[in-house]
Structure 1
Amino acid sequence: MPRSSALTRLERLDRLTATLKQDRPHTIADLAKEHGVSNRTLTRDLQILRDQGLPIEADRGRGGGVRLDHHWGVGRLNLSYPEAVDLLISLAVAEQMQSPLFLAKLGSVRRQLTASFSPDKRARVARLKSRILIGTSASPHVQSTKASAPPRAVQRLHQAFLDQSALTIRYQREDTTPSTRTIEPHYLLLNYPIWYVLAFDHLRKSPRTFRCDRIISATGTEDRFKLLPQDRFKDTIEANTLI
């Protein structure tokens, strides 16, 4: 059997993990056949997963096999760093909104998640959180005009915000006229349920506020920017967040 590439093995380990999460035991032979490898390779894969912390148990005798420990669950949730950052920031936003329901344990969850980061990553997350502002709820009129931004545009805005890099957007103004702008996304503001990006607009050479749901398309650039203080956006927030 030819040696698997590193990528193929990683993909196989992901599929094997998903199989083991099913609530039934699997024999080595069945798993090997399902994943197209020898029994010996499958046994090595299982050991790699054990070394990564998955509690794989072996039941001997007729009807036995390998499976995950029945007590294994959300406590073993394995998030990538970007996923963990997004979750942590979402928790912080939920806390700042001060909803009384289902939030009793958010502080504990946030602290445990934060503790899992290295000191330098904790500092980075703290900086990101300071760039997300929570305002008042949007007016009924503004809420009635809420639209859905294209997912790809949202993803690129998200990445540019994290990377502190400029972004070229196609933007639909309030009068529905489209315009093309290159912006630096310094802060995000939530006037529930409307998100705004507080940005430095290269066209106007000044801070501007853009509704995220009016961004039609977005293209990232490699141009990085230095963060401006929040007070530079005070006037544009007061003038534009109610539309």
Structure 2
Amino acid sequence: MTRTSTETRLERLDLLATRLKSDEPLILKDIAAELGVSVRTLSRDVAILRERGLPIEADRGRGGGVRLHWSWGIGRMALSYREAVDLLVSLAIVEQMKSPILMANLAPVRRKVMASFSPADRSRVQKLKSRILIGRTASVDVQENYTPPQAGPVERFHEAFLLMKVAEIDYRDDKGTRTRRRIEPHFLLLNYPIWYALCWDRLRNDIRTFRCDRMRSVSLVEETFRMRPYADFKAGLEGVDLLLP
């Protein structure tokens, strides 16, 4: 086979694979005519793609339709460390909220994701779950002054919480007063849709609770902190009806 014909076949294989992955209905004779090859040649291309691992199904009868099996892609998803942690935390939240939808499948999904971590990271993620508390839905009065937080501050605060880094926040309280605080975000509390951060406030040298949607800016300090006992934060949880203690 000449170099030109080899390159042509490779280009044809790439094109065919792309068309299959796009979920377009493909008829071999139509694609063969479009590419200027015979149906037999295109059938050999399909066989090569099968050998490469694509689960291609063919329809019987006239027309020669081909498609990828419906399960293609399952088990091939790759998650970054941060994405896997976010997924596990989301699963933990749904489990604690006792959502009746798809509850039967959450445990095996959690185990599979957890198995992808090293033993050291697995222990760290388990501890992270214990730092997220779920309460009841926020009252109508509380929700009236809620506005979804901005993406930038949320991402930086998320990193501070995940990596246990000290953060500086520009905060606006319920009276509209703005202050600059340096905090250690120890626990998160969800009273849907509002997230609260239970923190050690280095300005006040005491425990303080901050609404995440009232953080106007967040910057990270290159300093980590050690977890304080959960008992230190119980006073800030007085009157909060937690779904799990």
Per the alignment, do residues 240 and 137 of structure 1 end up closer, same or farther by CA in structure 2, a change over 3 Å counting? closer
Q: Which amino acid aligns with 1:135?
A: G
TM-score of the superposition, structure 2-length normalised? 0.70
Measured after TM superposition, the shift of residue 239 of structure 1 is 7.5
Write out the 4+ residue segments of structure 1 that deviate beyond 6 Å after TM superposition: 17-20, 67-70
Contact 2:135–2:240, Cα closer than 8 Å, also in 1: no
Contact 1:55–1:72, Cα closer than 8 Å, also in 2: no
TM-score of the superposition, structure 1-length normalised? 0.71
Determine which structure has more spread, i.e. the larger CA radius of gyration.
2
The residue that corresponds to 1:131 in the other structure is 131
The residue that corresponds to 1:12 in the other structure is none
The residue that corresponds to 1:62 in the other structure is none
The residue that corresponds to 1:118 in the other structure is 118
Per the alignment, do residues 94 and 70 of structure 1 end up closer, same or farther by CA in structure 2, a change over 3 Å counting? closer
Q: CA RMSD in A?
A: 3.3
How many residue pairs end up in the alignment? 199
CA distance in 1, matches of 2:240, 2:126: 27
The residue that corresponds to 1:217 in the other structure is 217
Q: For 1:34-71, what per-residue CA distance to the aligned partner results, in whole angstroms no more than 9, with x for missing partners?
A: xxxxxxxxxxxxxxxx9xxx83579xxxxxxxx97764
CA distance in 2, matches of 1:18, 1:210: 49
The residue that corresponds to 1:141 in the other structure is 141
Q: Which amino acid aligns with 1:209?
A: T
Q: For 1:73-97, what per-residue CA distance to the aligned partner results, in whole angstroms no more than 9, with x for missing partners?
A: 2322111111011001100110001
CA distance in 2, matches of 1:18, 1:190: 43
Q: Secondary structure at the match of 2:222?
A: strand
The residue that corresponds to 2:53 in the other structure is 55
Measured after TM superposition, the shift of residue 20 of structure 1 is 7.5
Per the alignment, do residues 77 and 18 of structure 1 end up closer, same or farther by CA in structure 2, a change over 3 Å counting? farther
Q: Which amino acid aligns with 2:120?
A: D
CA distance in 1, matches of 2:126, 2:212: 23
The unaligned stretches of length 5 or more in structure 1 are: 1-16, 28-49, 59-66
Q: Superposition pairs for residues 91-240 of structure 1, below 5 Å?
A: 91-238=91-238
The residue that corresponds to 2:87 in the other structure is 87
Contact 2:91–2:110, Cα closer than 8 Å, also in 1: yes
